Amino acid sequence: MTQPGARHVPVLFEVAMEFLRVQRNGTYVDCTLGLAGHAEGIVRRLGPAGRLIGFDRDPEALGLAKERLDRVCAELGSQAPQVTLIGEAFSRVTEHVEAKSADGLLGDFGVSSLQLDEARRGFSFQADGPVDMRLDTRSGLTAGQVVNEMSERELANLIYEYGEERRSRTVARAIVRGRPVTSTVQLARLVASAVPPMKFGQIHPATRTFQALRIYVNRELDEIGALVEAAPQLLKPSARLVVICFHSLEDRICKDSIREGAQHGIWKILTKKPVTAGEEEKDRNPRSRSAKLRAAERTERQATGNRD
């Protein structure tokens, strides 16, 4: 029987490991465990004095990540590092990781294959399910509540801001007229009715709207902003920050924060341009096509508190 996550191959895995530069006795923070693909790579590079701290606010993902990492640690035996998993949003990282204690911090943003492939989670417009989209299903508004209760104007603004959808007003009008919206397939059809037919090779017309709702429901941009702002406090001198983004809004937050930090002597930028997947990886994993990796190294200057 195939174990959950056993076939999961994380995006830009080798590049991420290269930039993290995992030290055998180091402490590393994986802020987005998902199915623990990157986390397993870190654990296998650590030794018994090393430590991995992992975050995921999705209880199901956290459980599967724990199973996978437990198996890896059992395989490593006495050489296994300490693994601590935390079922909270990664924006709360400063509550669980001591200042200047980490040798590396990884953030692989967006949703995992686990969430996209499960129709009942409501992230995908390709399979019918409830309009949920929450990463943490224990609390917060669902996307269904948003599309059924927001005013047309508020919904249009949300879709434009978080989905960068130029036809946001037309889309919002179609959704409001189609209420109540009870399934992802219904929502996708309403969106598709408001935009021109797709041409070959174009993204599905519902992609941007679903992205906007997911980002809004999970406060994803606020979470990412809080993390990259906190990263310099958590990392040792010469420690590394590696982030993988899947759309322009995420990438803009990370790029701007790292550049601003570099101007103040906090970061040494390791990737002048974002690293993207090669053709082989894109063919093997279509979700890697939009991935952009950025990396930076914390400087000594920030460690001494000197900042102009």
Q: What is the mean pLDDT of the chain?
A: 92
Helices (H), 77-206: 113-117, 143-149, 152-163, 168-177, 184-192
- CATH topology assigned to domain 119-218: DNA polymerase; domain 1 (1.10.150)
Torsion angles phi and psi, residue 297, rounded to 5:
-115, 135
The predicted structure's pLDDT at residue 307: 44
Q: Which two tokens stand for residue 208?
A: 């941007």
For the domain 13-114+220-303, what is the CATH code?
Answer: 3.40.50.150
Sequence-distant (≥ 6) Cβ neighbours of residue 147 within 8 angstroms = 131, 155, 175, 179, 181, 187, 213
Average pLDDT of 110-137?
82
The pLDDT score that the predictor gives to residue 202 is 75
In this predicted model, which residue has the larger pLDDT, 209 or 118?
209
pLDDT over 70 (residue 1)? no
* CA distance readout (Å), 306 to 229, 237, 302: 17, 13, 6
- pLDDT tens, 228-271? 999 999 999 999 999 999 999 999 999 999 999 999 999 999 99
* Mean pLDDT of the region 270-294: 94
Q: How confident is the model at residue 201 (pLDDT cuts 50, 70, 90)?
A: low
Q: What pLDDT score does 3 carry?
A: 45
For the stretch 137-155, pLDDT in tens is 888 999 999 999 999 999 9
Looking at residue 120, what is its pLDDT? 78
Tell me the pLDDT tens digit for each residue of 204-230. Answer: 899 999 999 999 999 999 999 999 999
266-286 average pLDDT score:
95
Query: What letter would DSSP give residue 124?
Result: -
**Domain chopping of the chain, boundaries:** 13-114+220-303, 119-218
Backbone angles phi, psi at 84, to 5 degrees: -120, 120
Per-residue DSSP letter, 137: T
User: Taking CA 243 as the corner, what is the angle to CA 14 and CA 90, rounded to the nearest 5 degrees?
Assistant: 120
pLDDT at 244: 98
How much is the average pLDDT of 105-125?
80
Residue 304 clears pLDDT 70, i.e. is over it = no
